[in-house]
Structure 1
Amino acid sequence: MIQAGPDPALRVEGLGVRYGALVALDGVSWEVRPGEILGIIGPNGAGKSSCYDATTHMTARSGRVWLLGQEVTTRPPHGLAALGLKRAFQQNAFFASLSVLDNMVAVLAREAGTGLLASLLLPWREAARRRALEEEAAALLERFGVPRALHALPPGSTPYGSQRMLSIALAFGRGARVLMLDEPAAGLGGADMAALAAVLRGLREEGVAVVVIEHHMDLIMSVADRILVLEQGRPLATGTPAEIQRDPRVLEAYLGQAA
């Protein structure tokens, strides 16, 4: 079905992944547009994480990928990040020995790319730059629901919900045109789940294209504009949350099992 609206921010066509004789992904195609949340769901082993790895070129695969209208099939993962495709993983990812704030500063400083020579010859400028980065980092952390009261702590000493939000903030950095999240709600509930939903909706309002793998049906049904259902590495159904909830194939393969 052809959709009206802006061109896709990210489009994949015919993705395939094999691990020896095992076919993990076969002929998977989808797209996500700016200001849209695409959910990817399916039973365990359906190929969801393989789909992410294939899209971001973190595994050998067949198929083609376009980012912002440019074919990026052969681009390495770091090349995709430089073009605006960012990804957060299932497991929290941060520097455990640094404070929450310094984790965010490290990401922003890397993206800013100041050279060593400037640091050595112009220390006063570097001090001013550090203060600016700290202010930017603090504001970004608050935007992602990590309060200032936690910024001086090591990540492992903060509540689990804050650790999840920190990982998403670190992936987002100074900004993303497309943000891919792998089970961001894992281990969350209650207020933390509501905070995550608010962040996802906020990103959509800012025009970010968001792709979310998720097992929490209540979350994905409440925030996604469209959903792709995978089963045994192949597309089973795609549509709006309401359409997916009514689809008998999905009810049999996934939602019925979850119930």
Structure 2
Amino acid sequence: MQAPCALRVEGLGVRYGALVALEGVAWDVRPGELLGIIGPNGAGKSSCYEAVTAMVRRQGRVFLGEEDVTAVPPHGLAGRGLKRAFQQNAFFEDLSVLDNMVAVLGARAHSGLAASVLAPRAAARRRGEAARFAADQLVRFQVPAIYHDRQPREIPYGVQRMLSIALAFGDGARVLMLDEPAAGLGGEDMARLVALLTSLKKEGVALVVIEHHMDLIMAVADRICVLDLGRQLALGPPSQIQHDERVLEAYLGKKQ
């Protein structure tokens, strides 16, 4: 028996005036599954992400588990376990790598003003526990301890990409959406990304990944959604997508 969907979208659409950026898109992803979203430039991939996370006005419905979250604002989605990393790295540049991680832990790290004043020892203990958790979380996300005291701009680009994913995940996520996590990566950095995605899947996290690196997405995705000109062209396992004539035509401009 299949696990229930972690995230499901129905009839997703986005319009910018007369421009139809996305229309009639429907897919789902289950715990421990990676859904890849691919398509040529301008296919509507980023609009799809913006629509799912309520960053743009959209048509359609979005379900997180069994809950209809169509009307929930972005910060409410994060609180329910739907989190995303953006295509461009985004850090608190004046903080260390470790402090960046602590900053996104919310209540796990921050006691609030009243608790800090009335119970300073408990607040300090919470901060210490949060720092240890943050350090462990960074290592888990392929950010070695040697970089934890540095500022993000001082660490290698490949490690920055891992840090951006760690910050999006925070202290946990039911669904993690990643926008081109492999951009600019190669060699060992790409291998570390594959290992991380595989590990998250094994832990039961549902992953939705936009990616242009076909070798990567074909290797790690369980299913792939193909968009073209704002419409859903195909949805299925990688073996099916690789031989779909409509997909080949969209990417190559001809049937093979």
TM-score of the superposition, structure 1-length normalised? 0.95
Deviations 1:130-157 (A, max 9, x none): 2111110000000000000000000000
Distance 2:108 2:53 in 1: 19
Q: Is 2:16 the partner of 1:19?
A: yes
Three-state SS of the structure 2 residue aligned to 1:93 is coil
Distance 2:91 2:107 in 1: 14
Q: Is 2:163 the partner of 1:163?
A: no
Q: Is 2:115 the partner of 1:118?
A: yes
Three-state SS of the structure 2 residue aligned to 1:145 is coil
Q: Is 2:243 the partner of 1:246?
A: yes
CA contact (8 A) 1:9 1:31 kept: yes
Structure 2 gap segments, 5+ residues each: none
> Which range moves more in the overlay, 101-110 or 179-188?
101-110
Three-state SS of the structure 1 residue aligned to 2:190 is helix
Q: 1:65 maps to what in 2?
A: 62
Alignment of 1:33-112 (within 5 A): 33-110=30-107
Q: CA deviation at 1:114?
A: 2.0
Aligned residue type for 2:86:
F
Three-state SS of the structure 2 residue aligned to 1:196 is helix
Q: From the superposition, tell whether residues 128 and 111 of structure 1 become closer, same or farther in structure 2 (CA, over 3 Å).
A: closer
Aligned residue type for 1:93:
A
Paired residue total: 254
Deviations 1:227-249 (A, max 9, x none): 00000000001111111111111
Q: Is 2:184 the partner of 1:187?
A: yes
Three-state SS of the structure 1 residue aligned to 2:104 is helix
Taking only the aligned residue pairs, the percentage that are identical comes to 69
Structure 1 gap segments, 5+ residues each: none
Distance 1:183 1:157 in 2: 22
CA contact (8 A) 1:229 1:235 kept: yes
Q: Is 2:211 the partner of 1:223?
A: no
Q: 1:149 maps to what in 2?
A: 146
Q: From the superposition, tell whether residues 27 and 231 of structure 1 become closer, same or farther in structure 2 (CA, over 3 Å).
A: same
Once superposed, what is the RMSD of the aligned Cα atoms? 1.3
TM-score of the superposition, structure 2-length normalised? 0.96
Q: CA deviation at 1:109?
A: 3.7
Deviations 1:56-110 (A, max 9, x none): 1000000001001100000000001111100000011110000000000111145
